[in-house]
Structure 1
Amino acid sequence: MKLAFSSNAYLQHSVEETIRRVAEIGYEGIEILADVPHAWPAGLLPERVESLCKALDEHKLAISNVNAFMMNAVADPRQPYWHPSWIDPDPHYRAIRREHTKRALMLAAEIGAPHITTEPGGPLADGQTREEAYGIFYEELMPCLEVASDLAMPLLIEPEPELLIERFDEYLEFVERLDSPLVGLNFDIGHAYCVGEDPQDWVARMASHTVHYHFEDIATTRKHQHLIPGRGAIDFAATIEAIRQTDYDGWLTVELYPYMDEPDVAAREAIEYLKPLLAR
């Protein structure tokens, strides 16, 4: 298993500067944010892609994932990460999410990323039933899966508290309907803990679906607020051991976007906490 750090904690820095800092702190990989100011696909000129790849080569950093979940570039007043969502009542508005995802898939292929992650359907609108939302999510996602298939690029769904798919049983129900080998799970251990699904109890059950992990801690209240690993209530030793038992050898990406005022401090504290657990 290898440790990576998500660039979404470094929104006050360029992607090149972020790559340099993450590498110097000691991570092997970086999750690239497909959003401003790092790699918003709709506005990414070829020279910017070249600069990003050059920085990765220079600092010998691999890409753990392309994060196509957050959409700060749209600046939606309702919430800057979840909107536009896959299930927005306005079809023209949710098309922004669909087309962004297609572009993120193409960007991932261009820069040599292993996969992308996306939101699990978005929040239900007033009066919207879950069955209606599932139907809309399915219809919007299918054109993206065609692009994913053409590129052989996996598209990972990340369950999230307060969105359409919060829990693992909901994820399993939906992906069975999709029936695509390119759809996988981004197992966010903090999100699981928030909805009462302690991660160490679910790792083995979800192992056949899990392609990538997000790591962050959560307080005992189970409130969805990302904390530096070791500061909350998640049993990281048990979770890492459970992951080890599944023979997973991929990326564990630390995601600490609330720490953008001091991202180096957060990234350093996280790696100092996690490395001894991985070395056991």
Structure 2
Amino acid sequence: MTTLLGYNTNGLAHHDLFDAVELLAEIGYRSVAITIDHGALSPREDWRGQLRRLRSTLQRLGLRSAIETGARFLLDPRAKHEPTLVSPDPAARARRIEFYRHAIRCAAELESSCVSLWSGVPRPEALRRARMEREAASSRPSKTPGVPPDAGVPPEAIPDAETMRLLAAGLEEVLEYASESGVIIGFEPEPGMVVDSMARFAELLALIDSPNLKLTLDIGHLQCQGEVPIPDQIRRWSSRLVNVHLEDTRRGRHEHRMFGEGEIDFPPVLQTLAEVGYQGAIHVELSRHSHEAPEAARRAFAFLQPLTQRMGASHG
């Protein structure tokens, strides 16, 4: 197995996009997870010209790419990560879907491995009101795929059923556009969001599935959520893997830490990725290290490169 080490540009937030790409290539990374953000393929800017230049730059440097969509304040300057696919307001959800279409267009042009996305943070009270208002205006109760009719749903369960309904409906639109564009969607379970774990991802797959719906697996999130042993999760989901995020962390704490500052035992993780034949990139995600980005990127590479070389030698 030849492992492609990559780095997420959300860890170089203070760098020009092209300076960041050049820096990562100089260090030795062979893939870049490009987080669309202000100054980086933002739909509000001259993204088409930037995209053409980026395609040329990646080709010149021999880098592969993935498109990431987790910018904090790109769509709403006042609310982190908003709006999302589970926002109660239909117009807000439509803005998120249109942003994902933009990301898919970028991925198609760059021939990226995937567009990585997540579900969003639940807003239970707002969702309960939205659902009840919709039902009051309807001649019959609405139905959520995989969920019993509303008459049989306890009031406390309505918000969760509604979030999954909204998520499945929005994701279906995104997947349809991705399929037409020849782009894979890598869904990432994210702590604190509606789909925050592999167990919740399995619930989502019971509602909606598509050949274009794959998995972005964040190794740190598994540790954070207590979904261990991590190698077992890799084996279980190996057929879905299209993108891997890597950082250190501690159980119960959603903090992306430098390697060696958390609890994860990385050799078995990389060994298992090799054993299951994972051919995609492993992208370091140190999203809170932009203030020391060059040094952080070098330290991460120095830690991981010897490990991935050993894994490649034993499974080449």
Range class of TM-score, shorter chain = over 0.9
Q: 1:209 aligns with which of 236, 240, 243?
A: 240
Q: In the TM superposition, what is the alpha-carbon distance from 1:30 to its structure 2 partner?
A: 0.7
Moved more, 145-154 or 122-131: 122-131
Taking only aligned residues, the RMSD between alpha carbons, in angstroms, comes to 1.5
The aligned counterpart of 2:95 is 96
Task: Name the one with the larger helix percent.
Answer: 2
Q: In the TM superposition, what is the alpha-carbon distance from 1:42 to its structure 2 partner?
A: 4.6
Mapped to 2, the partners of 1:44 and 1:204 lie a distance apart of 42
The aligned counterpart of 2:116 is 117
The aligned counterpart of 1:48 is 50
Which structure has the larger Rg over C-alpha atoms? Answer: 2
Point out where structure 1 has 5 or more consecutive residues left out of the alignment: none
Count of residue pairs the alignment pairs up? 275
The aligned counterpart of 1:164 is 194
Q: In the TM superposition, what is the alpha-carbon distance from 1:47 to its structure 2 partner?
A: 1.9
Q: Is the 8 A contact 2:73 2:79 kept in 1?
A: no
Q: TM-score, normalised by structure 2?
A: 0.83
Alignment of 1:16-31 (within 5 A): 16-31=18-33
Identify if the C-alpha distance between structure 1 residues 44 and 158 changes in structure 2 by more than 3 Å, giving closer, same or farther.
farther
Identify if the C-alpha distance between structure 1 residues 98 and 71 changes in structure 2 by more than 3 Å, giving closer, same or farther.
farther
SS of the residue aligned with 1:143?
helix
Relative contact order higher in (CA < 8 Å, ≥ 6 apart): 2
Q: Which amino acid aligns with 1:200?
A: P
Q: 1:126 aligns with which of 124, 127, 140?
A: 124
SS of the residue aligned with 2:161?
helix
| Percent pairwise identity | 28
Mapped to 1, the partners of 2:19 and 2:218 lie a distance apart of 26
The aligned counterpart of 2:107 is 108
Q: Is the 8 A contact 2:70 2:117 kept in 1?
A: yes
Q: Is the 8 A contact 2:231 2:272 kept in 1?
A: yes
Say whether residues 1:277 and 2:314 are aligned partners: no
SS of the residue aligned with 1:85?
coil
Over residues 53-90 of structure 1, what are the superposed CA-to-partner deviations in whole Å (9 max), with x where a residue is unaligned?
Answer: 23223333221x100232522244232xx211110111
Say whether residues 1:218 and 2:249 are aligned partners: yes
Say whether residues 1:15 and 2:29 are aligned partners: no
- Which structure 1 residue ranges, 4+ long, deviate > 6 Å from structure 2? none
Point out where structure 2 has 5 or more consecutive residues left out of the alignment: 128-158, 311-316
Mapped to 2, the partners of 1:57 and 1:242 lie a distance apart of 30
Q: TM-score, normalised by structure 1?
A: 0.93
Alignment of 1:119-198 (within 5 A): 119=118, 121-127=119-125, 128=127, 129-198=159-228
Q: In the TM superposition, what is the alpha-carbon distance from 1:269 to its structure 2 partner?
A: 0.6
Mapped to 2, the partners of 1:270 and 1:84 lie a distance apart of 32
Mapped to 2, the partners of 1:16 and 1:102 lie a distance apart of 23
